[in-house]
Chains A and B, each alone.
Chain A
Amino acid sequence: MTLIPDMPRNEILTENLPGGLTVILAPRPGSGVVTVDTWVAVGSADEPPRISGVSHFLEHMLFKGTERYGVGEIDRLIEGVGGLINAGTSHDFTHYHVTVATPNFPTALHVISEIVQNAAIDKNELNSERQVIIEEYSIKQDNPQGLLFEELYERAFLTGPYRLPVLGVPETLQATGRAEMLDYYQRHYCPERMALMIVGDIEPGPALEAARKAFDGFERPYRPLVPSVPTTAYAVSGEHVIEKEVNETYGAIALPAPPLTDHDEAYGLDVLQFVLGGGHASLLYQEVKEKRRLANSIHMGYSSSRYPDLFYVYFSCDESKRAELEQAVYEQFDRVIQSPPPPEALHRARKLLANSHAFSLETTQGQSSSIGYFYTITGDIEFEKNYIEGVSRVTAEQVQDLARKWLATRDTTRMIIRPKRV
């Protein structure tokens, strides 16, 4: 099949610095901007349950000053040169990224290297920031989708590293003091667990030299990660309903999904996901939303993760149609289980998936996120490099086999938020 060529990127270069930090360079001549993005392979899955939310809390604290810079100075340094700075935390990772015009690359690199090596984690600032995170927690409680997924993960897993929410809850945030956070930071933010991405309008040689200098002497002992709750056990089939002041029903049907260990299986699962629920011509969209008009919105989700995770079908609907909708979702699963997708459906899914991936690389931050994410999960730079080709190799039989293996169970967790009955 004709796929988009390896579009906006040139060769990707990697180097391991003496302390263990991996540097990944993706030059994009002429783009005029550069993204500096540090990925730390630690997230909520690695937290002791007592201080659940500490990874995300720590992410906030890295912006609250270092040994050298006071509160607010980091933001001013970056924004003073027109840069955009932000961060993200998930189950498996935390990352910090800055995008600037090319001439300001040294400032971006300096700030990123400073915060990941020398965060101050001031006690007073920590106590103040806790309030801000509690407000962030409230935003999620008010958002039907946010709440739905938080509850879904808690109910779908009996035990496991992904059961607890990334943000934590007010009680665990209260239990997180400076000593716990500092210990977590020093233990986990070691160079061997980090990758520094530099994507954009840079000369690889000088950029690498600048990275070496910025992280010169950065050494912390490597301690292997132990997931907070090493064993994953899924709940047996169940429906959980929350009634809330909402205008429609929001729901998710979830099934067990494997961790990303086998590359070919991962490419195949992404194609399976698109056959079923990616794009407007997918089975779920067409059958459940368009033809039978059971859902007002519907899509399928699955992300490649370090530990066993979930496939889910997310939908919104009128409560009166929900039972029929759930049945219709299983019928679409059965279609793929019973016969491989026809050539045009397979072609559409592969092409849409490959191009969506290629289009996401159009910005320096998009490319940095894509490489950083897959490198952090797999530890293998080749996985992302080969993504488009890997997807194009997936066969209809593979898709069917994966559907048989993962979508045949009816031991699903159904999480529902529906309008309160008056």
Chain B
Amino acid sequence: MNISTHTLSNGCRVLIRPTPYKQILSIVATVEWGGRDDPPELAGRTNLMSRLLTQGTETRSAFQIAEAMESIGGSIDAECGHDWISVETQTVEADWRQAVDLLSDCLFHSVFEPAEFEKERALVQSEIRRRDDHKFAFAYRHFQRLFYRGHPYAITTEGEEETLAALERDSLLDLYSQAIRPDRMLLVAVGNVPESEFLGELEKCFPQPSSSPALARIAPSLEPGAGRGETQDIPRNFEQGFVIVGYPGPLIGTDEGAALRLACAVLGEGMSSRLFSRLRDRDHLAYQVGASLAPRQLASHLLLFIGTGPDTVDQACEGMIREAQGIVAEPPSPEELDRALQYVLGKFLVGRQTNGSLAHFMSAYELLGLGWEWGEIFPDRIRAVKPSDIQDAARAFIQNPAIAIVRPTRPAE
């Protein structure tokens, strides 16, 4: 693989990965600053700032940005996670100059027009309201608050309606000038671009960093997982209940991380996993049941989830806890382990077919501190996991869960 790495004169790191025969170009620019860096009273500030990056620059209105991108059949989107901000473009390779021009315009020349600020804030507030109309998102928001109590991961990156209402445009401008700097940026391009011309264009379009000091991230004083051992019951007028059982997870790049990744697959990934074959196929408790391991910079978490009828909520919750603890009491058989291994590797292979997903994965590996090469190493790391490693990781992490239960209330007559 011919991945080349570069550092521009302004400090921006650049990775270029050619993909023969494809003719699609995906560029992901990331900045290591995210929702977890917002003080609680300003929750949602980084997300709102990110969204406004594509809503008007010194020379283009929001409409002109959309029109310029869509006229070449491309897209530009900004996203804010807990750990980093990303702005992504997708175009045909031949249009790489326009992609770089628009991307740099949005990143470095945004103006945060007052009218756009007001409009975008109202839209995010509306999304927060709609988010709570969806069962999984509603349950997950409550789980996050419980599990991460006191930690910056406790609050969703969008913030809350009230914290958004308190935000001022000046505060976003301050954050913009300090956080979106080329010397804090990683740019990953996947596609066939003429390398030296591409780098030359980046040098031309991306500015030099300002001399003011960059924002420093403050490490949280609390370890995640303060809500472990607690259950939160949330009544809501849904037809179906929803349960999330969560455990802390190790950092992704560690041996324990690889072992828990396989434990997660044994438990709840795929139709032959324990949760699916037992709680769905055998006990008929659910349509939607599974497990996931969320990678984070500071700590991951292992989630087990199920949507179930109003009368089987407790049975489903107990079933999930039993199966999670069962990883220690009933170690995976060689066949089960092999199935989990193949499933993880298959998903990994299939999930990396698009240039956009490759660019995202490479950026994430860098920001998680694993290095972009992690994608090449990962299969061997997973293959090296022994059954005893899974037992050890399960003993260390799968105990004392935090539980969020959305319990259906009968509709009022």
Contact = CB atoms under 8 A, between A and B. Distances in A.
Given A33-B353, A82-B346, A359-B24, A248 B126 contact: yes
Interface string A120-158: 000000001101110110110111100000000000000
A8 interface: yes
A373 to B, nearest CB: 19
Nearest to A422: B412
A356 B24 CA distance: 11
A81 B345 CA distance: 9
Interface string B11-40: 000000000111110000000000000000
Contacts of A207: none
A241 interface: no
A100 B94 CA distance: 31
A143 B345 CA distance: 33
A2 B354 CA distance: 22
Nearest to B354: A362
Interface residues on A, range: 35 or more
Interface stretch (B45-53, B60-68, B173-181, B322-330): B60-68
Given A279-B70, A281-B63, A355-B92, A81 B287 contact: no
A290 B74 CA distance: 20
A232 interface: no
Nearest to A80: B339
Given A76-B339, A281-B67, A293-B119, A245 B237 contact: yes
B346 A316 contact: no
Contacts of A281: 63, 66-67, 70-71
A160 B338 CA distance: 49
Contacts of B240: 135, 138-139, 141-142
B132 A356 contact: no
A116 B71 CA distance: 43
Interface in A76-109: 76, 79-85, 99-101
Given A75-B270, A363-B354, 19 more contacts: A7-B23, A72-B281, A76-B272, A79-B346, A81-B342, A82-B346, A128-B281, A132-B284, A132-B286, A138-B240, A142-B238, A142-B240, A143-B134, A245-B236, A247-B129, A351-B73, A352-B73, A356-B73, A362-B22
B73 A354 contact: yes
A208 B127 CA distance: 49
B130 interface: yes
B253 interface: no
Contact of A79 (B23, B134, B270, B350): B270
B370 interface: no
Contacts of B353: 31, 33, 362-364
Given A7-B24, A248-B126, A351-B72, A138 B342 contact: no
Nearest to B236: A245
